[in-house]
Structure 1
Amino acid sequence: MSRRLLLLLTLTCAVGVGTVYFPQAVSPLVGAALHESPGSAALVVSAIQIGYTAGIFLLVPLGDRLPHRPFLVTLLALTGVGLLVAGCAPGLAPLIAAAAVVGVTTVAAQVIGPLAAGLVAADRRGAVLGTLLSGSTGGMLLARTFGGTLGEWLGWRAPYLAAGAVALLLAAVLARTLPVTAPASRQPYAALLAEPLRLLRAEPELRRSCLYQATVFGGFSAVWTCLALLLTGPVYGLGAHAVGMLALVGAVTMLCTPYAGRLVDRVGPDRVNLGCLLGVLLSAAVLAVGAGGGPAGPPALVAGTLLLDISMQSGMLANQARVYALRPDARSRLNTAYMTCAYLGGSGGSWLGVRIYGGTGWPGVCVLVAVLAGIALARHLVASRGPGRDARQAGDGGRGDRCASASVALPPSPRLSKQPVGRRAF
């Protein structure tokens, strides 16, 4: 894993994740240009997100079955073509169909994680995953700004066409630079699709990591879904642009995730998870201060969302390091199970957060974040006190992989077995 290759993979993660998010900023422009209602135009965003979830389930497991270079190049090429078709769509229905196809194929970031985990030494895995996650975070945060700004200048088609050209360019570059990797599995496709569920049943550490991320991501999604309601409501009376400006504060997370990855390498994922769960609990208390507005309200929201972002992303790193160390031959299938649970938790958190906000307001959302983090923290404390904790610490700075390899029983050496008692060989 050279620096050049790591930079290229990080950029690919940013483009892949950004493709899911930039249509959110372009949606109002689509409605105005195609003479559709805002609700109808928003179906483009829903289509790409539904397609993305389907792509995680249907395509990411193939990362264990297919060589990574042709697989990634094909995914990026299909994404690029889909974006170009979307940019040339004559109406809303063809645009929605193209967006769904783009969502299915733009799962490159979920394929790159397992690929990178297999290309680096185990004691550098956290640092590399942190760098890749910073790229994904940057793509998520900057995509809305890119889409909205370019769309305002040149119309809604321009962001789609520009993103399509970038995806095709990356496909051409990766076709020449990605190393050749051998498939880790020979299972048929149907078996690969069923494997994530089997792994969830068989691997308690996978279930634990999924619980951590589902609960924390659920609270994260609830906060960001209800934050727009708070800022545009009577307490603050701001416009929708205020949510976008607040989201840019999360760019600081891009600087923190590489450090968090190195910390996972040094102290192991369990300790990082503990710090992150405590950080989420603290963020809930800080965010609650913003419920009443006033001079303390905006600083509390900025500090609380920033702490929540850093805790969520750093916890994701720790969980992925633990998960990737479980089965080196099934990393893509493990990632499929993990990310599916995370997104299910996020969807549930958004749905529940809106309903709690309607009944109890912003304080209720903050209580929801604290309760979800408390569930994960209670599970973490049980795991840390249980028997065999050291053996379960898979991914602890990469030591889990090496211990698994060293656990193979070796026959005794004939020379040593014939030595008299009391003599030592130096």
Structure 2
Amino acid sequence: MSRRLVLLLAATCAVVVGNVYFPQALGPLVAAGLGVSAGSAALVATATQVGYAAGILLLVPLADRLPNRRLLVALLVCTGAGLFAVGCAPALGPLLAAGAFVGVSTVAGQVIAPMAVGLVPPERRGAMMGTLLSGSIGGMLLARTFGGALGELLGWRAPYLVAAVLALLLAVVLAVALPEAAPRRRGPWQAPPVQVLRLLRAEPELRRSCFYQATVFAGFSAVWTCLALLVAGPAYGLGAQAVGALALVGGVTMFCTPLAGRLVDRYGPDPVNLVCMVGGLIAAGVLAAGAGGGVSGAAALVAGTLLLDVAMQSGMVANQARVFALRADARGRLNTAYMTCAFLGGSAGSWSGAEVYGRAGWPGVCALTALLCGLALARHLAALRGMRHAGAADRG
């Protein structure tokens, strides 16, 4: 792969992943613009994430059967059309439906990942995943900033319309720049849910990686879904633009994930997972100090969100490296199973975070995040003990 092509694929990941995240900065603006409650407006982010999980489940397995260039271009065209529909939605109901469609179609990044990993040697897979994930992180961070700033300037519809134009432009560029590739898999067709269930049943390492990412990503989504509600509330009294500015601090994560990829290539995914889960627990405690507002509270939010971002994204590099090493002929379907579980966890985290925030405020959201990261850590420690015992038995 040429460096230019790698950068183009990373930029594509940035744009399509950003479509999932910039609605998180628009909740208060959508609530004011449509005359609905803040909790109802927060459902827009949840609907997009639910759609994203459905798109991964239903569409990403096609990467093992269809030429990737045609599939990527078709997905980007559908994404652009969906974003235009969201930007023109007259009420909350059509907005949620169109947002879910955007989520379903904006899965091009999940098609790119298995395609790119298949083009590099095994000892470079972690580094490749780190590079692509850096692009995704850049899109995630800039999307929140872009959404918050443009939304406050021109209204909540403007970010969706601009994102639609970007998606359609990328479709044109990829149609010209990407080489066509033959399908990697033949044979009888099975429905994607059947394929996912078969892989989850057959691969214990896949199940383990799915559980890690689902729990940690649920805590991450709970924090970012409720962060806009916190900073717009009485403790801070700020607007959506502040959420975007806070998200920019996480730009450090773009430099951490390539490092995490190199560490995975050198030491394996398990030590990286362990550090990331402990980091998520610490981040939840730091974030809890942000409930009181003021300078100290803002500093806690900055430090906590940065640490949580690094922990979640670096853990994803480790998990995907473990998953892609399982079966070379099924990377699209393995990624489908993994990312479906991850974004179902993220969707559950967005919903449960909003529910907990309404009942227990920001401290409750931080406690929820700590619980979820703790569950992942407990499962990981049990797996490490099992591997040590198995190794001792083999040596005996």
TM-score category (smaller protein): 0.7 to 0.9
Kindly provide the amino acid, as one letter, of the partner of residue 196 in structure 1.
V
| Equivalent residue number for residue 114 of structure 1 | 114
Distance of 1:163 and 1:352 partners within structure 2: 28
Distance 1:41 1:348, change over 3 A: closer
Match of 1:260 in 2: 260
Residue 198 of structure 2 is matched in structure 1 by 198
Describe the shift of the 1:348–1:255 C-alpha distance in structure 2 as closer, same or farther (beyond 3 A). same
Structure 1 residue aligned with 2:296: 296
1:323 equivalent in structure 2: 323
Q: 1:61 to 1:220 in 2, by over 3 A?
A: same
Give the counterpart letter for 1:65 in structure 2: R
2-side partners of 1:300 and 1:29: how far apart?
Answer: 25
Quote how far apart the aligned CAs of 1:273 are: 0.5
1:196 deviates by 0.7
Question: Structure 1: 5+ residue runs without aligned partners?
Answer: 392-426
- Partner amino acid, structure 2, of 1:303: A
Shift of 1:124: 1.2
1:229-263 alpha-carbon deviations (Å, 9 max, x no partner): 444445x2422333333222212212211221122
CA distance in 2 between counterparts of 1:324 and 1:354 reads 33
Q: In the aligned structure 2, how far is the partner of 1:55 from the partner of 1:162?
A: 22
Q: Name 2:137's counterpart in structure 1.
A: 137
Task: Determine the C-alpha separation between the residues in 2 that align with 1:226 and 1:45.
Answer: 11
Contact preservation (8 Å) 1:65, 1:187: no
2:35 maps to what in 1?
37
Relative distance call for 1:302 and 1:176 in structure 2 (3 A) is same
**Distance in 2 of aligned mates of 1:356 and 1:82:** 30
1:329-348 matches, cutoff 5 A: 329-348=329-348
CA–CA distance in structure 1, aligned partners of residues 10 and 384 of structure 2: 33
Letter in 2 for 1:124: R
> Given residue 244 of structure 1, which amino acid in structure 2 is its aligned partner?
G
Q: TM-score, normalised by structure 1?
A: 0.80
Which residue does 1:410 correspond to in 2?
none
Counterparts of 1:27 and 1:284, CA distance in 2: 22
- Seen in structure 2, the aligned counterparts of structure 1 residues 275 and 41 have a Cα distance that, compared at 3 Å, is closer
Q: Distance in 1 between matches of 2:162 and 2:191?
A: 38
Q: Do structure 1's residue 168 and structure 2's residue 168 form an aligned pair?
A: yes
Shift of 1:72: 0.9
**Contact 1:56–1:104 (CA<8 Å) still a contact in 2?**
yes
CA distance in 2, matches of 1:126, 1:245: 30
Q: 1:75 deviation in Å?
A: 1.2
Structure 1, residues 146-180: CA drift from partner, whole Å, max 9, x if none? 24444555566654443333222222222232233
Hey, what does 1:238 align to over in structure 2? 237
Cα 1:70–1:269 change in 2 (3 A) is same
1:8-54 Cα distance to aligned partner (Å, 9 max, x none) = 00111111112233345567767777xx4245877765554443232
Higher deviation after alignment, 197-206 or 381-390: 381-390
Q: How does 1:266-285 map to 2 (within 5 A)?
A: 266-285=266-285
Which residue of the partner structure matches residue 179 of structure 2?
A: 179
Conserved? CA contact 1:62–1:189, under 8 Å:
no
More helix by share: 2
Q: Which has the higher contact order (CA 8 A, sep 6+)?
A: 2
Residues 61, 193 of structure 1: 8 Å contact kept: no
* Contact 1:28 1:38 survives alignment (8 Å): no
Once the two structures are TM-superposed, the CA of residue 327 in structure 1 deviates from its matched residue by 1.2
CA displacement, residues 382-420 of structure 1 (integer Å, 9 cap, x when unaligned)? 2223248999xxxxxxxxxxxxxxxxxxxxxxxxxxxxx
State how far apart, in whole Å, the 1-side matches of 2:30 and 2:290 are.
34
Distance, in Å, in 2 between the alignment partners of 1:280 and 1:31 is 30
**Residues 1:377 and 2:377 are matched in the alignment:** yes
Q: Label 1:159 to 1:360 Cα distance change in 2 as closer, same or farther (>3 A).
A: closer
Deviation at 1:358, TM superposition (A): 4.9
2:218–2:347 CA contact under 8 A, matched in 1: yes
Give the conservation status (yes or no) of the 8 Å contact 2:213–2:315: yes
Identity of aligned residues (%): 68
Distance 1:24 1:214, change over 3 A: closer
Question: How far did residue 336 of structure 1 move?
Answer: 1.4
RMSD over aligned Cα atoms: 3.0
The structure-2 alpha-carbon separation of the partners of 1:32 and 1:178, relative to structure 1 and needing over 3 Å to count, comes to same
SS of the residue corresponding to residue 211 of structure 1 reads helix
The code of the aligned residue for 1:376 comes to A
Query: Could you say what secondary structure the match of 1:296 adopts?
Result: helix
The amino acid that maps onto 1:117 is V
Range 360-369 or range 164-173, more displaced: 360-369
Unaligned runs of 5+ residues in structure 2 are 392-396
Distance 1:118 1:247 in 2: 32
Structure whose alpha-carbon radius of gyration is higher: 1
> How many residues get paired?
387
Question: Partners of 2:390 and 2:324 in 1: how far apart?
Answer: 17
| Post-superposition CA distance 1:330-383 (Å, at most 9, x none) | 111111111121122223333444444455544443333333222222222222
Structure-1 residue corresponding to 2:394: none
Secondary structure in 1 aligned to 2:145?
helix
Q: Which amino acid aligns with 1:37?
A: G
In the aligned structure 1, how far is the partner of 2:220 from the partner of 2:98? 29
Of the structure 1 ranges 134-143 and 283-292, higher mean CA displacement relative to structure 2 is found in 283-292
